[in-house]
Structure 1
Amino acid sequence: MQATGLPAGWEVRHSNSKNLPYYFNPQTKESRWEPPADTDSETLKHYMGQYHTTNLRADGVAQQDLGGKIRCAHLLVKHQESRRPSSWREAQITRTKDEAYDIIRNYYRRINSGATSLGDLATTESDCPSARKRGDLGFFGKGDMQKEFEEASFVLKPGEVSPVIETASGLHVIER
């Protein structure tokens, strides 16, 4: 394992077209958005936080001007009353809002207890296409997201996780 947590031969690169990090193996020429098998997720999370987020000075102030934008990841659970009750996981979502609340509260407990990370859960459980990017929504500014989502996101400190947030899209847990 390297300091990145990736298996031997793998490295993190940055996509200019999507402005996101991705994983590349120069020997096999394989590239992918998801970490390869046998990745140490905790080491990778720390590496990505250090080298693939806003550069912070020692005093914690961003060195680059992001124009008021922040970066968040989220886990979305849709229900039958969601604006679009379908996802990459299910063609038609039939669960009730109460069932969706039970599911996302369980995810929130698991994330908060340290049993898993939001990114790990989002990859398999989120109803948002951002699941393939561990829930990463990239950088966004005020007015770019639904009001409830934006309000919850902008009060979070980097690394902090929100309680369950409800929007027209469904139920979210957000990590800044």
Structure 2
Amino acid sequence: MSSEETGLPSGWEVRRSNTKNLPYYFHPDTKDSRWEPPAGTDPERLKNYMAANHSSSGAPSAAFSAPSKENKIRAAHLLVKHRDSRRPASWREAKITRSPEDARFKIEGFQKQIQNGTSLSELATTESDCSSARKGGDLGFFGRGDMQKEFEDAAFALPVGGISNVVATASGLHLIQRLE
């Protein structure tokens, strides 16, 4: 999506929140995220873009039709956040202070447990810093453009049942399992 298409200032993009299933605004270079459009947004262009791509009422226009279920996958993940994560807090910890190195050590330990037969779902339920933990890390179905690029690329590259190596995103470190 281009700035010309969305009306957002250069570098900004529209993403969808996994927890609230609402669109938000994100700048990948600065890791800034917000619910309100950033300064410098063209409100008319953004309104048209949002109506075509993120409207809950009515079907999107043919030019911006939502991907069919055939273009979506279902995945689960285990997330370990660190103090440099986009939002260093979780349902488990109000303020996450671990270093990125400590987070990597921790998730690599989980990776070894999974390689030794523990299910990702079982570990995610008690250890993941994502609210999807209550569902065993299951994120449901998503298509291209719904997740952070690094996460999405790794998830789409997996075969069904496959589990990724450690994937770093602005949210933290993930182990991802493709479910469907």
1:92 pairs with 2:95: yes
For residue 108 of structure 1, what is the aligned residue in structure 2? 111
1:70 pairs with 2:87: no
TM-score (structure 1 length as normaliser): 0.62
Displacement of 1:79: 0.2
For residue 160 of structure 1, what is the aligned residue in structure 2? 162
Per-residue Cα deviation, 1:91-142 (whole angstroms, up to 9, x for no partner): 000000000000000001110121x100000000000000000000000000
Q: 5+ residue gaps in structure 2?
A: 1-67
For residue 35 of structure 2, what is the aligned residue in structure 1? none
Displacement of 1:67: 3.3
Identity %: 63
For residue 139 of structure 1, what is the aligned residue in structure 2? 141
Separation in 2, partners of 1:112, 1:144: 28
1:83 pairs with 2:86: yes
Per-residue Cα deviation, 1:11-44 (whole angstroms, up to 9, x for no partner): xxxxxxxxxxxxxxxxxxxxxxxxxxxxxxxxxx
| Structure number having the greater helix percentage | 2
For residue 150 of structure 1, what is the aligned residue in structure 2? 152
Per-residue Cα deviation, 1:47-81 (whole angstroms, up to 9, x for no partner): xxxxxxxxxxxxxxxxxx62300000000000000
Q: Indicate the SS of the match to 1:67.
A: helix
Q: 5+ residue gaps in structure 1?
A: 1-64
Separation in 2, partners of 1:161, 1:108: 9
TM-score (structure 2 length as normaliser): 0.61
Separation in 1, partners of 2:96, 2:106: 13
- 4+ long deviations beyond 3 Å: none
- Root-mean-square deviation over aligned CA pairs: 0.8
Q: State how many pairs are aligned.
A: 111
